[in-house]
Amino acid sequence: MQHYTARTLAALAIAAAAVTLVGCTPAGKPGPTPSTSATAGGATASNTPVATPTPTPTLPPTPVTLTCDQVVTPDQLYAYNPNYSTQPGYAPTSGSLEKQVADWKGVTCAWQNQTSGDVVQIAIAHPPADQLEGLKNAAITAAQPVPTYGTPPQVEGYFKAGNAGQVQIFRGPFWIVAESAAFYEPGDAAPLMQSVLG
């Protein structure tokens, strides 16, 4: 009887151990751990910061504080041609060199011939230092050198013929642009350019 009881107890102990082991077995495969990535519309979004390109800094222009009466004085204008007077409501044309001068805080002026209607535009800028060489290269490519405007390298002058003759002069850090249908050749603009440079 005692022998039977010991066997029974042993069997019960084995059964209890088996039940305990079954309770310790994982019920299923664990799910994925949470992630900071999320998928939406087929694209994977992440909290990882994305590097953005740094814009290349550009040097600022220097404002030109001259007035139009200082660019060409009334006496100089009268000596050039007494029919010219200030053109009211003048604004540089979009895409023109004069508009670029205005965007760089330069001075832009215009005078109109009261007889012929021809307009003379003169603009002066002090461009950003890193733009000056590019402006000179563009002028050399598009126009012919004019040594009578001044002596290189102190003064570099260029003229381009067309429906309106166009002058570009570089003196030190300054860029001077002049344009008019009255400028058929470089000499037509020379008196005004000497006034401006003076």
Average pLDDT score over residue span 20-36 = 48
| Short-list 177, 173, 175, 133, CA closest to 159 | 177
Q: pLDDT of 101-150, one tens digit each?
A: 999 999 999 999 999 999 999 999 999 999 999 999 999 999 999 999 98
Q: Calculate what percentage of the chain has a pLDDT beyond 90.
A: 66
Would strands 84-86 and 144-145 be described as parallel, antiparallel, or unpaired?
unpaired
| 3 state SS of 197 | helix
Q: pLDDT of 69-94, one tens digit each?
A: 999 999 999 999 999 999 988 999 99
Query: What is the secondary structure of 40-104 as a DSSP string?
Result: ETTEEE-SSPPPPPPPPP-PPPB-----HHHHS-HHHHHHH-TTEEE-TT--PPTTSHHHHHHHT
Written as six digits, the tokens of 196 are 């401006």
- In this prediction, residue 58 has a pLDDT band, given cuts at 50, 70 and 90, of confident
Residue 53 has pLDDT above 80, yes or no: no
| 3 state SS of 173 | coil
Residue 177 has pLDDT above 50, yes or no: yes
